[in-house]
Structure 1
Amino acid sequence: MAETLDQRPPQSLDNADLLALEVCNPYPIRFIQTIQPHGLLIALKYPDLTILQVSANVETLLHQPPAALLGQPLTVVFAAADVELLRHCLDRNQAAAYLTLPHPATGQAFAASLHWQQTTLLMELEPQTADEPTSEELCCQINTAIAAFGTAPDMQSLVDSFAREIQRLTGFDRVMVYRFQPDQSGVVVAEVNHSDRESYLGLHYPTTDIPREARSLFYANPLRYIPDLNYVPVSLVPEEHPLTHGPLDLGAAELRGVSPPHIDYLHRMGVSTSMTFSLTDDQRLWGLVACHH
C-alpha cells in the first residue's frame, strides 16, 4: 500500500508537504503583488490601452522608467502598427492573445501574452532568447506531447509514456504526474526521476495540500513556470491599481510572484527550477504535471 502523508514519519513530512504545488493555506495567491524577473508586466485600461501599472523592471528590460510610461498609451512602448496588430488579436479572441512584439528602442523581440483580469488587460512580456524557452514555447512543447498521446492501451501506459515524453522534451530532472481523486485528494501516478532524490511515485496527498484557490488558478492558467527559485521579486508601480485603489488581481498572470511558503517547500525538496501544468478532461481539472530541476 502506498504511504499517505499521515503514515509518514514526522521527519518526512517536510518532503511530503510537497507536493504542495502552489498552495499554502489561506495565502492570497492571486493577490501577490510581485512578479518574477524573467519578464515584465504592463496593466492596461481597455479599449484605449492606457498604461495603468508596470513592473519595476521596465527600466531594465525596456530602458524606459515607470514614470515615463504611466498614464501613456501603449504606443510609447511599441510601434503603432504593432499595437494595432495587438488590437486585432484581441478582437479575434476575447479571452487571450499571444504574439511577438519587437521593441523599437532596443530591437529586442518579446513574446507577449495578454489576459483579461476583470476590466484590466494584463500584458506580459518575456524576452525571446536562444538560451531560455519562453512560457509560450513551453506551452507549445507540452501541447505537442499531449497531442501525441491521444490513445493508449490503458491509462497507466498513457501517463507513463506521457511523463517520459515531457522529460525528453523539457530536460527536467524529475517529472511527476498527479491525478486528482473524486474527493480532490491526489496521488502520484507516474514519475520519471533522473535525479538522486527519493521517488514520490505512489504517494498520496490530502485535499488540503492543493486548496480550492490553487486548483481554480491551475484550471484558468494551465502553466506555472518558475525558472529560478532564488529570484528577487519585482514590485508593481504604482503599488495600488489606480482605478480600483486596491491590489491588482494577478490570478491570470504567468509571471505572478511565488508565495514564500511554496518557495520554502521546493527548497526543502532541493528544487531550483519548477514547471507545473494542468491536465483537464471534460472541462474539469484531471491532474497536474510537475517538472523539477
Structure 2
Amino acid sequence: MKELDPRPEAEVMAERQRRFEEDLIDAYDEELEMEVDDRIIDGAQGFTPEHREARKVYFRELFRLQGELVKLQDWIVQTGHRLVVIFEGRDAAGKGGAIKRITQRLNPRVCRVAALPAPNNRERTQWYFQRYVSHLPAGGEMVLFDRSWYNRAGVERVMNFCSDDEYEEFFRSVPEFEKMLARSGVQILKYWFSITDEEQEIRFQNRIHDPLKQWKLSPMDLESRRRWEAYTQAKEVMLQRSHIPEAPWWVVQAVDKKRARLNCIHHLLSQVPYHEIEHPLIELPARVYHDEYSRQPVPESMIVPEMY
C-alpha cells in the first residue's frame, strides 16, 4: 500500500524544492572540489577580493559554457556529426584539466576521451595511425584525444623513439590522413596548450611536493623538463608542417589555467555550427503499487558502515 504523507501539500512541495536546490548545489560542488584540489585556492593571494571576484566570474562562465556543451552534444547526436578534438602540449600544460571541464557534464557514451598508452610490441609493427583509427568517432559522437598521433612529432622525436625516416614519413602522411578524415565527414580540431618555461617548473615543483599529485610525474616528464629546448623545436616544426586548412592548429595560452579552459571551450563551441535541439516535454510516469508486494529487509551484514 502507498503510504500517504501526512504533511500539508505546501510543506511537501517546499521540501522537494529544497532537495532540488541541494542536488543542484551538490553538482556544482563537484566543480568546486576540482578547483580546491589546485590546493590553497590560487596560492597566497587567493583570498583577496580581486581573486574572489575573478573566481566568481570563472565559475559563472564555466557553468554557462558547460550548458552550451550540452547543447552541442544534443546537436551532435541529432545530426550524426563526428568530431575529433586533439589536445597537445608540454607536460603539465593543463590539457587534462581542460578535458575534465569539457566532459564533466556530458554523456560518456557520446563524448569519449582517448588517452592511449605507449604502443606495445605488436602495435610498433603496425601502420603508425592504425591504433588510433579504432578510437575515431562514429556518427553522433565526439572523441577528445589526450595526446594523439602527434606523439611522433613530439615525444618520439625528442626522446629518439623513432628514426629520422619514420619522422619524415609521419609528416608526409599526417596531412593526407587528416584530409581523408575530413573528406569522410570527420571534423578535426587541434589545440596546443602553451606555457612558459617558468610556469612548467612551478607546476612540476607543485606536483613533487603534493602527495596527491605525485602520481602525475613520470620519469619521462622529468626528462622532458631537461629537454625543454628540444621540445620547443619539435613543437615549432610540428605546427609548421601539419597546419592545414582541413585541420588547423589552434594555440591556447595556458599559463593561466582558468582562462585557458574558458578560452578553449569557447573556441571549440565557435567552430561547430550547432544549435539548440528541441526536446519533447518529459513527464514522470505515476508509480505503480501492488498490495501483494512487500519489501524485504536488507541484512545488516550487507550495509556499508556509516562512518560519516
TM-score, length of structure 2 as denominator length: 0.25
**Considering only CA atoms, is the larger Rg found in Structure 1 or Structure 2?**
2
Tell me which protein shows more strand as a share of its residues.
1
